[in-house]
């Protein structure tokens, strides 16, 4: 049962253009969403996150949008740079009734982003 | 600040052999996670520790996998006996506490032949 899905295995974009990576989830208990970036032979590194009480979070060139009703989030990178070429993972967390995060991350399959000079 | 350390980085074993991985989290981090990442998939949580206690091991194949975190610092993950389908990257992550940012180590790539 894939609770977090990234349906695009790969994305190719020209330098300077916008990259849009998409993610869908099924578990209504998820209340915090994160994007991780992974280079070969390295562990994932945190990029940006969003709480379920927001619909947008921006950090420099990176913006994450959350549509709770559609259970969909997206990561926008503007402008894209060759150094952004990596695998991007969408991940989700849930909290208990008291609002304490379980901590555990549920990941999507990843999208390979290639930014061409 | 030193990151999460893992060793070995690579390991090749034959099926039915045993193997152990080691993780040293960031100093002061109470929560430690082991994830398994099979090629083409996202990381999947195997076990989560809070200090030296297990919080979640629901997806750990307990007939062959075991893990411990003695003294609430370093952790080891063991597989005995290994199967072909255990070929994956094993990632260790730590966070200050549950819900805080998780920092990942470089992983151990296991190949079972």
Which structural domains are found in chain A, ordered by start? Answer: 4-97+105-116 (2.60.40.10)
Q: How far apart are CA A104 and CA B98, in angstroms?
A: 8
**Residue B4 placed within a domain:** no
pLDDT digits (tens, 9 = 90+) for A6-48: 999 999 999 999 999 999 999 999 999 999 999 998 999 999 9
For chain B, strand residue ranges (E) read 5-7, 10-13, 19-24, 31-37, 44-50, 53-56, 65-68, 75-79, 88-95, 103-104, 108-112
What residues in chain B have per-residue pLDDT under 50? Answer: none
Percent of residues, chain B, with pLDDT higher than 90:
92
Phi, psi angles (nearest 5°) of residue A8:
-105, 110
Number of domains into which chain B is organized: 1
Q: What is the CATH number of the domain that holds B35?
A: 2.60.40.10
Q: Is a pLDDT exceeding 70 seen at residue A85?
A: yes
Alpha carbon separation from B112 to A78, B12, B80, B90, B109 (Å, rounded): 41, 6, 12, 13, 10
Determine the straight-line distance between the first and last CA of chain A, rounded to whole angstroms: 38
Q: State the pLDDT confidence band at A96, using cuts at 50, 70 and 90.
A: confident
Q: Is residue B46, in this structure, part of any structural domain at all?
A: yes
Put simply, whether B91 touches A (Cβ < 8 Å) is yes
Q: Residue B3 domain-assigned?
A: no
Give percent helix, percent strand, percent coil of chain B, each to the nearest 5: 5, 50, 45
Closest-CA distance, B56 to chain A, in angstroms, reads 8
pLDDT recorded at residue B1:
65
Residue B26 lies in a domain: yes
Give me the domain span that covers residue B81: 13-112
B59 in a structural domain? yes
* Chain B interface includes A66 (CB < 8 A): no
**Residue B19 is assigned to a structural domain of this protein:** yes
Contact residues, B window 29-68, toward A, CB-based 8 Å cutoff: 31, 33, 35, 40-45, 48, 55-56
Among partner residues B4, B99, B105, which is closest to A101 by beta-carbon distance?
B99
Short-list A4, A10, A8, CA closest to A112: A10
Chain A residues in contact with B40 by the CB 8 A cut-off are 109
Cα distance between residue B70 and residue B104, in whole Å: 20
């Amino acid at each position: 049962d894939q609770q977090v899905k990234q349906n695009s295995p790969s994305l190719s974009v020209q330098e300077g253009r916008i990259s849009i990576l998409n993610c869908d989830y099924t578990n209504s208990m998820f209340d915090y969403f994160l994007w991780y970036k992974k280079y070969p032979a390295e562990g994932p590194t945190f990029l940006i996150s969003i709480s379920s009480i927001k619909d947008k979070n921006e950090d420099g060139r990176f913006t994450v949008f959350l549509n709770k009703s559609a259970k969909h989030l997206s990561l926008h990178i503007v402008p894209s740079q060759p150094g952004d070429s990596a695998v991007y993972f969408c991940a989700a967390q849930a909290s208990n009734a008291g609002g304490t995060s379980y901590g555990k991350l549920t990941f999507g399959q990843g999208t390979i982003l290639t930014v061409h000079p | 600040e030193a990151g999460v350390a893992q060793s070995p980085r690579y390991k090749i074993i034959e099926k039915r052999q045993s193997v152990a991985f080691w993780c040293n989290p960031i100093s002061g981090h109470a929560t430690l996670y082991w994830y398994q990442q099979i090629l083409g998939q996202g990381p999947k949580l195997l076990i989560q520790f809070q200090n030296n206690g297990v919080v979640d091991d629901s997806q750990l194949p307990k007939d062959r996998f075991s893990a411990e975190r003695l003294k609430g610092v370093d952790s080891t993950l063991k597989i005995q006996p290994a199967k072909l389908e255990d070929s994956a990257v094993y990632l260790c992550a730590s966070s200050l506490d549950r819900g805080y940012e998780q920092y990942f180590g470089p992983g151990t790539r296991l190949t079972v032949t």
